[in-house]
Amino acid sequence: MHIAILGGSFNPVHNGHLQIAKTALKKLPVQEVWFMPSKDTPLKETALASFEDRCELLEAAIKPYKHMKICKLEGKLEGISYTIHTVEELKKRYPQHSFCWLIGDDQARQFDAWKESKRLKKEVEFYVFSREGSSILPEGMKRVSMDLIPVSSTEIRQGKKLYEVPVSVRLKIAEKGLYFEETIRQYMNEKRYRHSLSVAQLCVALASAHNLNTEKAWKMGILHDICKQMPYEISKIWMRHHMPFHMNEAPAIWHGYIGADFVKRQLDVRDKDVISAIYHHVLGDGKSSYDKILFIADKLDPSRGYDSSEQIELCKMNLDLGFKRVKKEQQEYLRKEGTLQ
């Protein structure tokens, strides 16, 4: 069989990658396309999801396509995975097959810097797929034209252009809480980002003290303020469209309602406990343990700069008692501020 390899980090996979594979199957004399995810690189700057998670997302993406497969070879190879070594290993392991290599324009541009690039070109045939309509083509490579899909994994991690990710992949990303840190960063300043991380940590500690699901706890903590810095005019439009019945409440409260709706609509979060906790976190009027934990963690977050260790200990020992105390203290504070009558 003649097989086309598409290597990449797939962090995460998106429609641009699928478009390359579909085009290769249509236009090249290949019977299959194998996606070759790169192994974990601990020093990479951007948050790289684990090899297993990236493979799981790939599995979901290629499920509808019979002639697309995943090759986990690079995940198993020792040391840095240079393509020249991967190609040699492929030929050794699959002597019955022949291979060609697919790359996007951006990689073609940097190709001369690849390890043993001249020898590599002799070992395997390269096909270059248009990414931004650029015309750079290293000597000896062939161009394959395709409909451009202007998207990058970076944009997806930032929560942008999610429509360029298959729904099955989006649901998995949300279920696993992948890339949430990178996503929330786009919507808030550094101080609020630090607060979100710290709240998530405290939610996990409280959930763990009460034998609750710590993954849920982390997700609701990290996402709870995603809409806190949404400009007022946009919040108003959002409220008018989606939750007109809450519009008579103070705008300072809205971000809990909008946040819950936003993570459902934009980030495909389906976990009802997470959505409910975000919805109720401003007023603390939720009934579930997760609702209470998020409310408590938000108020007692150590990064707010005052000593809340005594209340945190109480909440770890007795969630209901701790919740009542935090709520009472908050209401006294709001009364003093004049927000509550």
Q: Using CB under 6 A as the criterion, which residues of the chain lie in contact with ligand ADP when the complex forms?
A: 8-10, 16-17, 20, 103-104, 106-107, 129, 131, 149, 151-153
The residue assigned the tokens 């979060």 is 269
CA-nearest of 196, 198, 218 to 207 is 218
Cβ-contact 281, 307 below 8 angstroms: no
Degrees, nearest 5: CA angle 101-104-107:
90
Cβ-contact 209, 313 below 8 angstroms: no
Cβ-contact 141, 122 below 8 angstroms: no
What minimum distance in Å lies between the beta carbon of 122 and ligand ADP?
Answer: 20
What minimum distance in Å lies between the beta carbon of 74 and ligand ADP?
Answer: 12
Please count the helices (runs of H) and the strands (runs of E) in the chain: 17, 6
What minimum distance in Å lies between the beta carbon of 78 and ligand ADP?
Answer: 21
Nearer to ligand ADP among residue 151 and residue 230 (C-beta): 151
Nearest residue to ligand ADP, by Cβ distance, number only: 104
Length of the chain: 341
Classify the C-alpha dihedral 72-74-78-79 as positive or negative: negative
Q: How many CB atoms lie within 10 A of CB 110?
A: 12
CA-nearest of 31, 271, 49, 266 to 178 is 49
Nearer to ligand ADP among residue 151 and residue 202 (C-beta): 151
Cβ-contact 182, 193 below 8 angstroms: no
Nearer to ligand ADP among residue 104 and residue 166 (C-beta): 104
CA-nearest of 222, 216, 198, 319 to 274 is 216
Degrees, nearest 5: CA angle 128-21-152:
75
What minimum distance in Å lies between the beta carbon of 146 and ligand ADP?
Answer: 7
Nearer to ligand ADP among residue 20 and residue 297 (C-beta): 20
> What three-state secondary structure class fits 293?
helix
What minimum distance in Å lies between the beta carbon of 149 and ligand ADP?
Answer: 5
The first and second tokens of residue 113, run together, are 């810097």
Nearer to ligand ADP among residue 17 and residue 255 (C-beta): 17
Q: How many CB atoms lie within 10 A of CB 90?
A: 22
What minimum distance in Å lies between the beta carbon of 130 and ligand ADP?
Answer: 7
Nearer to ligand ADP among residue 146 and residue 243 (C-beta): 146
What minimum distance in Å lies between the beta carbon of 17 and ligand ADP?
Answer: 5
Nearer to ligand ADP among residue 153 and residue 201 (C-beta): 153
Nearer to ligand ADP among residue 106 and residue 313 (C-beta): 106
What minimum distance in Å lies between the beta carbon of 22 and ligand ADP?
Answer: 12
